[in-house]
Structure 1
Amino acid sequence: MTIDWWMLALQAINVLVLVWLLGRFFWRPVAQVIAQRRATAQQMLADAQGKLDAAQSALAAIEATRAGFAQEREAILAAAHDEAERTRVARLQETAQETDVLRAAARAEIAKTQEAAARARAEEASQLAITIAQRLAARLDSTAVREAFLDWLRRAISALPEAQRQSAASSGVALDAICATPLSAAEQERYRARIGEALGAHPDIVFKVDPALIAGLELRGPHFIVTNSWRADLDRILAELTHEQ
């Protein structure tokens, strides 16, 4: 068996030419296309990764916003609760103050009503006492009653301070002797003498009549008055009773 070296060389040359042709016109364009597609795919993957990262960032921002909304909601609810509590406390305080004012006004009104009722009762009692005293005075011996009041007046004058008695008995001073009933001239002279003895002098005394005294004899001067009557006693008793109430 013989080898045809020329044929083998030609075949080798054909193979080399074919390989060169394939590498020149097929493998290089295919490699370039593959590389371009690989680059495109990598770019698409990078873009997709960027979009995924952006989506994840947006999702994180949304979650943060939701968390902020939740915190803000809790803060708003807490502030609203605090404000409602403050409003409730303030309203309770206002209600308590209004209640105190109403109670004070009610107590004042009750006290005013009680005071008015007490005054009315005192007035009724005063009128009743005056009526009773007038009826009793009418049944008593007027002379004996006047003598008793004259004696009481002398005692009251004697109890006055010395300076006041001297001022009442000084010259030029006119004194008024008030009686519940008129006195005769003789009685006036006797009363004038007895009053002068009590004062230690003989002042000018003018006798006047005031039925409102009911019964009694009072002495009045420019700077003093000696009350000595049933009316004065009744007024004093009613004032004490009204004060006690």
Structure 2
Amino acid sequence: MTIDWWTLAIQTINVLILVWLLARFFWRPVAAMIEERRQTAARILDDAEKKRAEAEAAEKAVAETRAGFAAERDTLLEAARAEAESLHRKRLAEADRDAAARIAKAEAAARDAHQAEERAWFDRAGDLALSIAGRLAGRLDPAVIAAAFLDGLVAEIARLPDAAKAAAALPEAELELVSAAPLGPALAETAQQRLREALGTTAALNLRVDAALIAGFELHGPHFVVGNNWREDLARIGQELRHDRRS
């Protein structure tokens, strides 16, 4: 086989020219275009990465905001629950105080009613006792009754303090003997004589009648009143009965 070196040289030159033309007018613009597209793609990827980072940051911020909302909600719920419990306890305490006040008021009213009924009962009993005592006194001999109560009065005078008896023994002392019924002359003299001896005085006693005594006497001195009569006895019995019922 015979090689045509001139043809080969011309073809080689043509190839070189073609390569040069392609390199100058084709590959460089294509490479520039590819580089530009690569840079554009890199920028797009960078922008996408930035947006992804921004999206993640935004998502994180949203999550933190939601967590903050949840914490704030929990705080508000806890505060509301605590306030509700406090209000509930306050209302229970107010209800307890109101109930206690109502109970105390009812107990006081019942106690007052009971005391009023008790006083009314004692008043009726006292009136009945006075009526019975008055009837009994009307059936007994006045002289016998007076003598019995006079002995008790002398005994009461003996228990007076010395200062009271000394004041009653002064000449200027005013003494008054009160009897439940009028005294006859003899009984009046006997009563005065015994009382003067008991008081250690020679002064006369003023006489006065008070039917409220029912039976017996009262002696009024300068600084004392001493008695022995059914009115005092019945009053003392009533007080003792009241004291016993309260005990």
Of 99-108 and 169-178, deviating more is: 99-108
Q: What is the match of residue 79 of structure 1? A: 79
1:219 alignment partner in structure 2: 219
Please name the residue that 1:229 is paired with.
229
Q: Secondary structure at the match of 2:178?
A: strand
Pairwise CA RMSD:
1.7
Give the Cα–Cα distance (whole angstroms) in 1 for the partners of residues 17 and 8 of structure 2. Answer: 14
**In structure 2, distance between residues paired with 1:93 and 1:2:** 127
**1:131 and 2:131 correspond:** yes
Per-residue deviation at 1:137?
0.6
Give the distance between the partners of 2:81 and 2:177, measured in 1 at CA: 83
Give the equivalent residue in structure 2 for 1:92. Answer: 92
Q: Which piece of structure 1 moves more, 227-236 or 192-201? A: 192-201
Question: Residue 42 of structure 2 aligns to a residue in which SS?
Answer: helix
- 1:12 maps to a residue whose letter is T
| Whole-angstrom CA distance in 2 between matches of 1:201 and 1:171 | 8
The TM-score normalised by the length of structure 2 is 0.92
Look up the SS of the partner of 1:172 in the other structure: coil
Q: Distance in 2 between matches of 1:13 and 1:223?
A: 168
1:138-217, aligned counterparts within 5 Å?
A: 138-217=138-217
- Match for residue 239 of structure 1? 239
How far apart are residue 102 of structure 1 and its match? 2.1
Corresponding residue number in structure 2 for 1:31:
31
SS at the partner of 1:151? helix
Amino acid at match of 1:57: A
Cα deviations by residue, 1:210-242 (Å, 9 ceiling, x for unpaired): 111011111011200111110111111111112
Asked if structure 2 preserves the Cα contact closer than 8 Å seen for 1:178 and 1:217, the reply is: yes
Distance in 1 between residues matched to 2:15 and 2:206, nearest whole Å: 178
Identity %: 48
CA distance in 1, matches of 2:198, 2:229: 18
User: SS in structure 1 opposite 2:205?
Assistant: strand
Q: Is the 8 A contact 1:196 1:202 kept in 2?
A: yes
Structure 1 position 83, deviation (Å): 2.0
| Contact 2:143/2:187, CA 8 A, preserved across alignment | no
Query: May I ask how many residue pairs the two structures share in their alignment?
Result: 245
Q: Verify the 8 A CA contact 1:173 1:204 in the aligned structure 2.
A: no
Q: Which runs of 5+ in 2 are unaligned?
A: none
8 Å CA contact 1:176, 1:221 repeated in 2: yes
